[in-house]
Amino acid sequence: MSLTLQTITIMTYSREQLTCTMPAEHVYPFIIHRGVDEYLEKLQGERTRYTKKHVVSHLLSGCQLGTFPSYENALAVVRKLKDKPYFLMPTYDLLTTHPDRHKIGKLVQQLKHRYSGD
């Protein structure tokens, strides 16, 4: 695992931007990082360690794609998606209005199902 302490900006589920410094790794155009909830719990002193879960987010927009049970699973998803031109869209609005959105959405759902361990 090669996560290093980095300052990143993530879009929360309520579509607000959150800038935080946490263990993360850039694999353009994605970032693999620890969960925001765990990060906030650590800041408040409610948690001393992170779990093994890792989150994949779109680096350009900050949108979170999913949470995975391990770094290896998160990296496997990133490797399957990183060369798709769709993910070069720099904003949430461009991602959600792109003509390939539904096709890529199905692929993301298949990968989440395969690698999320549920």
* Residue 8 CB neighbour total at 10 angstroms: 16
Q: Is 4 buried (19+), middle (13-18) or exposed (0-12) by CB count in 10 A?
A: exposed
Q: pTM of the predicted model, to two decimals? A: 0.89
- Comparing C-alpha atoms, which of 35, 22, 27, 36 is closest to residue 77? 27
pLDDT digits (tens, 9 = 90+) for 37-79: 899 899 899 988 889 999 999 999 999 999 999 999 999 999 9
